[in-house]
Amino acid sequence: MSSPTPPSPAATPVSLTERRKAATRMDIARAAAQLFVKHGLRATRAEDIAQAAGIAPRTFYRYFATKEESVAPLYAAGAQLWAEAVRQAPADLTVPQALEHAVRHTLTPGAGVSAASWEWVRTLIRLAEASPSLRKVWAEVCQAGERTLAEVLAERLTPGGDDVAGPLPARPDLRFAAAVASAAVRTAVEAWATGDAPASGPAGPAGLALRNLGALGEFPWEGCRG
């Protein structure tokens, strides 16, 4: 099985040191995922992950407190990619249209993540279902993704929001809208991961997410304009 190739996070102005740290975190995450898949979570030690990533154990612990936390960057990559796709969706789209646009551009194999990488996503989510400690990491990443999406919705629904330096604070209604949209996508990915359907087609992550979003037709998205 080839190494997972997670999507690149959204491009933001960061220092060279920050980019190197992010790259190291992702290298560790890939090494951890490979070992978890090959040997199982219980049989894998943090020292094993460090060795596979080509770093010293003390370096591993500078980046992550536990072996479970080491796969957080892989969990987060998809959420970051989707939120950024919502941000970059054409400005004339309504909120539900922007969400659907982002789903098609990030959850369809080959558009945002390769089909091979989706199989890694399936495996990592299944591991989270079987491990309370890993499930906690997954839940924290999903919660962080909701906050990011709320900021993105604030930008889309605020006149001149794109010109404001730094993230806009999200009102309670926008946080609720982001939680609803995120849940629609998260549960679709989780449902797909529990089965054996291919990543493409109506039973794939994109197909299930679009179905979930479609079921929210009565949600007052436009009322979030305030």
**CA 123 from centre of chain:** 15
**CA 74 from centre of chain:** 8
On whether the CB atoms of residues 102 and 86 are closer than 8 A, the answer is yes
Q: What are phi and psi of 109, to 5 degrees?
A: -55, 130
Residue 90: how many other CB atoms lie within 10 Å: 8
Which residues, in sequence order, are CB contacts of 179 under 8 Å at separation 6+?
Answer: 146, 150
Please tell me the pTM assigned to this model: 0.82
Alpha-carbon distance of 24 to 60, in angstroms, equals 9
Amino acid at 197: A
Q: Which residues pair with 109 in a beta bridge?
A: 113
- Dump pLDDT digits (tens) for 16-46: 788 899 999 999 999 999 999 899 899 999 9
Q: For every one of its 226 residues, what pLDDT tens digit does the chain have, with 9 covering 90 and above?
A: 344 444 444 444 557 788 899 999 999 999 999 999 899 899 999 999 999 999 999 999 999 999 999 999 988 988 899 999 999 999 999 999 999 999 999 999 887 777 788 888 898 899 999 899 999 999 999 999 999 999 999 888 876 555 444 555 568 888 999 999 999 999 999 999 999 999 999 999 999 999 999 998 888 876 665 4
Q: Which single residue is written with the structure tokens 């996503």?
A: 121
> What token pair was written down for 114?
């390769």
Return the sign of the alpha-carbon dihedral for residues 100, 102, 103, 105. Answer: positive
On whether the CB atoms of residues 105 and 111 are closer than 8 A, the answer is yes
- Nearest Cα neighbor of 82 from 111, 109, 98, 103 is 103
CA distances to 110, 206, 224 from 179, rounded to whole Å, are: 26, 18, 13
- Dump pLDDT digits (tens) for 156-184: 887 655 544 455 556 888 899 999 999 99
Q: Which single residue is written with the structure tokens 């919705």?
A: 153
- Nearest Cα neighbor of 81 from 23, 25, 9, 14 is 9
